[in-house]
Amino acid sequence: MNNGKDHSLRVKEFYAKAKNYLKLNPHLEKTGFMREIILPYSKKDILSIQIWGKDEIDVIQHLPETKRRQFIKEKFEKDVSCVIFPKGISSLPEIDKEARRVKVALFDSALSQEKCRVEIKKFFSDFNPNKVLVSGGLLRIFGLGVLIIGDSGVGKSESALELICRGHSFISDDVTVIEKTSKGILMGKAPELSRFFMEIRGLGIINIKQIFGSKAICRQMEINLVMNLKRWQKGKEYDRLGLKFPKEYKILGVKIPQLCIPVAPGRNIATLIEIASKVHMLRLKGYHAAKDIVQKLDKALSQD
């Protein structure tokens, strides 16, 4: 339990904040997500997150079947909040079964065991409950901080590059560090390592500052709008009038307006993002084109 000196966060919060750092995937879906992770008060304290590599799995596999469950049970009873299996290591049926029973979260990582250890130490040494890493790029468009998220391979980076060519400012590509201020404002910036850089399929890594100059760069920006690019699904009905508003996107407990754009071959995504930003700005001023045309239609019908 929390002794008053330590801080804690739930496993689901740890996963949301660390999944990009540690390349995590839930092994048992959301089992154990409500468990607490006690953050160590000093460097001598031990985190309740465990990494089970080849040695740990070998020990369990070499035990007689009758003793395996008891061994795993005792392991889980020692204040374990979750277990991470590094790259190349798979869980065992006995581990899965006991984890479900006692509700301990299991995660698979794409990182090596040593890399997992390094990244966990780094993550918790820099841990800030008001800071999170989000998959998505951030640009300043018409003075708005627009976070572009969406399906993999839909052209997020390519669209961002075209927007930069049109004079909008680049902040981050692919991954954005978001921090909530004391006033509840979300500020986004690029991770230190990838600042100024963008990955474009076919070109590789490019340096936006070197190509476009410092005027194309914005160090950080308040996030005002989330643009969610979704791959077009044949047969799915989409809102054609704009009367329906998508659910707001929540980051660190703060709700941000969200616009969803279906992406299909031939659609100019950069132009759609620009127009969507303008539409959002007009909505903030109280103008809704869909409501305007409906009112005009109602007026015309009433005259008839």
Alpha-carbon gap, residue 238 to 244, rounded angstroms: 10
**Per-residue model confidence as pLDDT tens digits over 57-111:** 999 999 998 898 899 998 888 778 899 999 999 999 999 999 999 999 999 999 9
Please provide the distance, in angstroms rounded to a whole number, between the alpha carbons at the two ends of the chain. 72
Report pLDDT digits (tens) over 189-228: 998 888 999 999 888 999 999 999 999 999 999 999 999 9
pLDDT for 42 equals: 43
Task: Determine the Cα–Cα distance for residues 172 and 195; give it in Å rounded to an integer.
Answer: 7
Superfamily of domain 131-289: P-loop containing nucleotide triphosphate hydrolases (3.40.50.300)
pLDDT, one tens digit per residue, over 249-260 is 999 889 999 988
Can you give the three-state secondary structure of 138-164, one letter per residue?
EEEECCEEEEEEECCCCCHHHHHHHHH
Question: How many CA atoms within 13 Å lie on the side-chain side of 180?
Answer: 16
Percent of the chain with pLDDT over 90: 50
Q: Which CATH number fits domain 7-125: 3.40.1390.20, 1.10.1200.10, 3.40.50.2000, 3.40.640.10?
A: 3.40.1390.20
pTM here is 0.62
Q: Quick one: average pLDDT of 104-127?
A: 87
What are the tens digits of pLDDT across the range 13-49?
889 888 888 899 999 999 999 988 876 544 444 568 8
Length of the chain: 304
Residue 55 confidence (pLDDT): 93
Same fold for the pair 7-125 and 131-289? no
The set of residues, in sequence order, having a beta carbon less than 8 Å from that of 198 and lying 6+ positions away, is 137, 157, 160, 161, 170, 173, 174, 205, 206, 208
Whole-number average pLDDT of the chain: 85
Q: Please give the pLDDT value at position 244.
A: 62
State yes or no: pLDDT of 1 exceeds 60: no
Residue 5 in this model has a pLDDT that exceeds 50: no
Q: Could you give phi then psi for residue 217, rounded to 5 degrees?
A: -110, 140
Ordered by start, the domain boundaries in the chain are: 7-125, 131-289
Give tens-digit pLDDT for 131-169: 888 889 999 999 999 999 988 888 899 999 999 999 999
